[in-house]
Amino acid sequence: MTPLQRWVDEQAKLMKPDRIRWCDGSDEDARGIIEAGLKDEKIAGNPVFYELNHDIFPNSYLHRSHPTDVARTEHLTFVCHPNKELAGPNNNWMAPDEAKAKMRKLSDGCMKGRTMYVLPYMMGHPQSPYAKACIQLTDISYVAVSMRIMTRMSKSVIDKIGDSDDFVKGLHSVGDFDPDKRFVMHFPDERLIWSVGSGYGGNALLGKKCISLRIASCVGRREGWLAEHMVIVGIQDPQGKTTYITAALPSACGKTNLAMLQSALPGYKIWTLGDDIAWLNVGSDGRLWAINPEAGFFGVAPGTSMNTNPNMMETLKAGTFYPTLFTNTALDTDANEPWWEGLDGAMPKNMLDWQGKPFDPASGRKAAHPNSRFTVAVSQCPTLSPEFDNPRGVPISAILFGGKRTHTIPLVAESFDWQNGVFMGARMGSETTAAAMLKQGVLRRDPMAMLPFCGYNMGDYFRHWLDVGKKLKNPPKIYSINWFRTNENGKFIWPGFGNNIRVFKWILDRINGKADAKETVAGLVPHLKDFDISGLDMSKEEAAKLFEINKAEWEREADDTDKFFDTFGSSMPQELKDELKGMRERLKK
């Protein structure tokens, strides 16, 4: 018996499934799993999958989650290091033994009457030295099918693991969906995740946030690389040259849209490499290289349309070998198609809301859940970069840090150097969204968009960022971006989406030494003469508002950052405290 077989056996003894199904990632296998979700498995008495009309969205299925289980639950997510200091103030912590005892109790017999799916998959291209072989156990078809879309799932992973114990372990059960018995526990030292009680997104698709960010960030710290909540894209300029960048934005703040941006300026084209996670390592050439460990998109549905993200609409309609899943969208019952707020065309006459109840537009409620999503293979993306499957990744020339900020933060600003750029990332804030079960629209500090995902003390994480910079002979430039500034009427000033290429154009000009910049407390911002607003219905005065620095707001920003940095005590690097001092001095000028 191999260590893998032994481990699966042990878990089966604890969780007591009726049957065990070893998945191989094949099309045939996936069809069988969908079949089980259409017929046998139930959530709150309803099927796991509903088959949709395949004319417009080929091979697509609707999934309605348990109504209490619609987003990540940060308050129920724990990182179980041997001591609390390692987890830091940014994580919930429980002692490993205590956490395991708790999870063992919740897991005892939790798969009775159900199937245990054994999912073998790689995070990262199998030939990348950073790739990780992983096994997830789960008891729901939705997660099994989702993981096949989101990762490189294959029987060959079992051969690769062979007689070794070298694989990342994921234990997952939906339990009885009771929010009081819902926990997502991480054991970084054992590279183990144990998640019970939720079937939603980052709580249940363990390859994503749990492995590729929380566990990988711990491994990266030890091995000298970074696991980040970032999109990776290539920007092709009118001369045909492609420059690669990454961008960190908090959940539901625009990564997927940025990843497949359709340029509003002629001659520019975006090549997609990833929309959520980047693993960054220092190459032998002293540059920063990025790979996307995932193989699918788990994207926010509301707001996705031919107008905002035509490349995603095309991806959803491409229909290949992989199914496309829609989760908690509404259903147009006449056409049997998914629907969400912001989709093109008129609102359908007859709809069921995300819970499957008849929808009344007069109710004032939304038909699709604000965190409703689609799960679709990257291979279907029309803008997929030819470099996507390059195990080496792509060399990065710029890193962008952004958030949802209706005030204060300019559209774009460049940092003075790497250290100042790390400070820029560390002081990032964003208004909360529906991606997590939190009060929404509240400003919180979210350094590098990693607050919910950094698997260790964030003070040490900042130190690690500074250390990585020291190893880079040719470091990327670092920028702060903000698409979400509003005017006196509360309207977004910046049109966003395809027009964000204008910001990238300025960034490319900076990288290529073709544009000057103005020093401000926010960093180096564009001179209006260098910022292309041609063809936009926007006056120079309005454009200027995008870059306006309000002194009082920046004083508040500095105070808030100070307070936040203080929470990390002695683990907070002095260099970043010094950067904050520098910012305050610039503010006095």
Q: If you ran DSSP here, which 8-state letter would residue 526 be given?
A: -
Q: How far is the CB of 316 from ligand GTP (least distance, A)?
A: 13
Please give the Cα distance from 43 to 26 (Å, whole number). 25
Q: How far is the CB of 91 from ligand SPV (least distance, A)?
A: 16
Q: Single out the residue of 15, 135, 219, 249 in contact with ligand GTP (rule: CB under 6 A).
A: 249
Q: How far is the CB of 449 from ligand SPV (least distance, A)?
A: 8
Select 167 or 374, whichever has its Cβ closest to ligand SPV. Answer: 374
**Can residue 299 be called a binding residue for ligand GTP (CB under 6 A)?**
yes
Please give the Cα distance from 194 to 292 (Å, whole number). 24
Please give the Cα distance from 551 to 542 (Å, whole number). 19
Q: How far is the CB of 203 from Mn ion (least distance, A)?
A: 13
Q: Single out the residue of 483, 504, 554, 564 in contact with ligand GTP (rule: CB under 6 A).
A: 483
- Which secondary structure element, helix H or strand E, spans residue 574, and what is its range? helix 574-588
CA distances from 497 to 240, 259, 384, 456 (A): 22, 10, 18, 33
83-86 CB contacts, 8 Å cutoff, 24+ apart: 85/457, 85/571, 86/456, 86/457
248 binds, among ligand SPV, ligand GTP, Mn ion, none (CB under 5 to 8 A by kind): none
Residue 550, number of CB atoms within 10 A of its CB: 11
- φ/ψ of 87, rounded to 5, equals -75, -30
CA distances from 451 to 250, 429, 448, 530 (A): 9, 10, 8, 34
Rounded to the nearest 5 degrees, what angle is found at the Cα of 259, between the Cα atoms of 265 and 516? 50
- The contact pattern for ligand GTP, residues 397-436, with x = CB under 6 A and - = no contact, is --------------------------------------x-
The label of the residue with tokens 């497949």 reads 260
Select 251 or 380, whichever has its Cβ closest to Mn ion. Answer: 251
Q: How far is the CB of 400 from Mn ion (least distance, A)?
A: 15
Q: Note whether 428 and 507 are within 8 A (CB).
A: no
**Can residue 174 be called a binding residue for ligand GTP (CB under 6 A)?**
no
- Can you tell me whether residue 420 is helix, strand or coil? helix
CA distances from 93 to 225, 367, 528, 568 (A): 24, 37, 48, 15
496 binds, among Mn ion, ligand GTP, ligand SPV, none (CB under 5 to 8 A by kind): ligand GTP
208 binds, among ligand GTP, Mn ion, ligand SPV, none (CB under 5 to 8 A by kind): ligand SPV
Closest Cα to residue 276, out of 298, 261, 260? 298
Q: Helix/strand/coil (H, E, C) string of 169-215? A: EEEEECCCCCHHHCEEEEEHHHCEEEEECCCCHHHHCCHHHHHHHHH
Binding to Mn ion (CB under 5 A): which residues in 254-283?
276
Q: Give residue number: closest CB to Mn ion.
A: 276
Select 253 or 576, whichever has its Cβ closest to ligand GTP. Answer: 253
- φ/ψ of 39, rounded to 5, equals -115, -50
**Token pair in block for residue 553:** 């707001």
Select 298 or 374, whichever has its Cβ closest to ligand SPV. Answer: 298
CB-based contacts of 90: which residues, under 8 Å, 6+ apart?
A: 451, 454, 457, 458
Binding site for ligand SPV (CB under 6 A): 72, 201-202, 208-209, 251, 276, 298, 435
Q: How far is the CB of 357 from ligand GTP (least distance, A)?
A: 23
Binding to ligand GTP (CB under 6 A): which residues in 434-463?
435
Q: How far is the CB of 152 from ligand SPV (least distance, A)?
A: 17
Closest Cα to residue 495, out of 484, 487, 504? 484
What sign for the dihedral angle of Cα 235, 239, 240, 241? negative
302 binds, among Mn ion, ligand SPV, ligand GTP, none (CB under 5 to 8 A by kind): ligand GTP
Annotate 140-151 with DSSP letters as a single string.
-HHHHHHHHHHS
**Can residue 257 be called a binding residue for ligand GTP (CB under 6 A)?**
yes
Q: Single out the residue of 167, 497, 504, 547 in contact with ligand GTP (rule: CB under 6 A).
A: 497
CB-based contacts of 233: which residues, under 8 Å, 6+ apart?
A: 244, 245, 246, 247, 258, 259, 261, 270, 271, 272, 273, 385
Q: Note whether 455 and 78 are within 8 A (CB).
A: no
531 binds, among Mn ion, ligand SPV, ligand GTP, none (CB under 5 to 8 A by kind): none
Select 340 or 547, whichever has its Cβ closest to ligand SPV. Answer: 340
Select 154 or 256, whichever has its Cβ closest to ligand GTP. Answer: 256
217 binds, among ligand GTP, Mn ion, ligand SPV, none (CB under 5 to 8 A by kind): none
Q: How far is the CB of 213 from ligand SPV (least distance, A)?
A: 9
Select 133 or 277, whichever has its Cβ closest to Mn ion. Answer: 277
Select 256 or 408, whichever has its Cβ closest to ligand GTP. Answer: 256
Q: How far is the CB of 458 from ligand GTP (least distance, A)?
A: 19
- Can you tell me whether residue 47 is helix, strand or coil? strand
299 binds, among ligand GTP, ligand SPV, Mn ion, none (CB under 5 to 8 A by kind): ligand GTP
256 binds, among ligand SPV, Mn ion, ligand GTP, none (CB under 5 to 8 A by kind): ligand GTP
Q: Note whether 398 and 477 are within 8 A (CB).
A: yes
The residue type at 250? P
Select 146 or 251, whichever has its Cβ closest to Mn ion. Answer: 251
The label of the residue with tokens 């420059």 reads 243
Q: Single out the residue of 303, 338, 455, 459 in contact with ligand GTP (rule: CB under 6 A).
A: 303
Q: Single out the residue of 17, 293, 296, 302 in contact with ligand GTP (rule: CB under 6 A).
A: 302
Please give the Cα distance from 37 to 50 (Å, whole number). 8
- What is the set of active-site residues? 253
Select 276 or 294, whichever has its Cβ closest to Mn ion. Answer: 276
Q: How far is the CB of 487 from ligand SPV (least distance, A)?
A: 28
**Can residue 254 be called a binding residue for ligand GTP (CB under 6 A)?**
yes
**Can residue 251 be called a binding residue for ligand GTP (CB under 6 A)?**
yes
Single out the segment in contact with ligand GTP by CB under 6 A; choices: 138-146, 155-163, 235-243, 250-258. 250-258
Residues near ligand GTP (CB under 6 A) are: 249, 251-257, 275-276, 299-300, 302-303, 308, 435, 483-484, 492, 496-497, 500
Residues near Mn ion (CB under 5 A) are: 251, 276
